[in-house]
Amino acid sequence: MPVGLFRSEDGWAQVDYGTGTTIPIPRSRYEANGYKPDFDKLPSEAEYRAAEEKKDDDAKGSRREKRTAPPVSFSC
Could you read off the pLDDT of 52-69 as tens digits, one per residue? 999 999 988 866 555 565
Rg for the chain, CA atoms, rounded: 20
Could you read off the pLDDT of 11-44 as tens digits, one per residue? 999 999 999 899 999 999 999 999 999 999 999 9
Chain centre to alpha carbon of residue 1: 16
CB-CB contact of 15 with 22 (8 Å): yes
DSSP state of 6: E
Q: What is the pTM of this model?
A: 0.75
